[in-house]
Amino acid sequence: MAESYEAVLFDFDGVLADSEPVHFACWREVLLPLGISLEWERYHQHYIGISDRKMAEDLVKRANRPVTVEEISARYDAKTELFREEIRRQLPFAPGVVEFVRSLNGYRVGVVSSSRSSEVRPVLEAGGLWESLSVTVFGEDVTRHKPDPEPYRKAAAILGVRRALVVEDSEAGVASGRAAGFDVLRIPDPARTVELVRRRLGMDG
């Protein structure tokens, strides 16, 4: 039942924001000097929602020349700075998302993302969403990343809730939310986030 949820826990990229294409473009640019040609199809199917470490471990196997996980990880700061520059030009929130999240007064609202706070928090603050959140869990806040249940379990524990709706877009995120014991709503396109969450929460009837 919709009214049984105490909290709504959103993933960020691909749910609240259509920022995955920006992440992809930034990764593609910083990895080219290492002999790694990143393609959108593989990024979209395999790397969204997982930790940067796991992504690096897989990329090592696909590089055109020998490269280490450490070399790939060392490019993270350059990728983060490039990402910040890109999103400053236009905040990537999906249509109506900011106003919708602010309207969820009957629920504790959180963001649970595999990305680091240095990438997500500035966007949330610039969009006016940060103050509406009761909890945030970022990549550096957990030991085990999605698809492990730790991120969503940690968010629920901080809030002190047992019944949460998890809103996700990736396989890893969906698996994480379900393993944590919560209902999961999968978003096929961030443009539909507001519509689908409203429907699940019974706000349209």
Are residue 105 and residue 171 in the same domain, yes or no?
Answer: yes
Task: Express as a percent the part of the chain with pLDDT over 70.
Answer: 98
**Does the pLDDT at position 202 exceed 90?**
yes
Specify the length of the chain in residues: 205
pLDDT in tens, 109-128: 999 999 889 889 988 998 89
pLDDT of residue 57: 94
Identify the domain boundary among 48, 73, 89. 89
CATH number at residue 108: 3.40.50.1000
Which DSSP category does 45 fall into? I
Domain boundary among 89, 105, 135: 89
What CATH number is attached to the domain comprising 58? Answer: 1.10.150.240
Q: Answer yes or no: are the C-beta atoms of 182 and 149 closer than 8 Å.
A: no
How does strand 7-10 pair with strand 108-112? parallel
Does the structure show a pLDDT above 60 at 40? yes
User: What predicted TM-score, i.e. pTM, was given to this entire model?
Assistant: 0.81
Residue 9 has φ and ψ, to the nearest 5°, of: -110, 115
Q: What's the whole-number mean pLDDT along residues 124-136?
A: 94
Rounded Cα gap, residues 15 and 56, in angstroms: 23
Q: What is the pLDDT of residue 1?
A: 43
Statement: residue 3 has pLDDT above 60:
no
> For residues 31 and 13, what is the distance between their CA atoms, to the nearest angstrom?
20
CB contact at 8 A, 146 and 114: yes
Residues 55, 121: one domain?
Answer: no
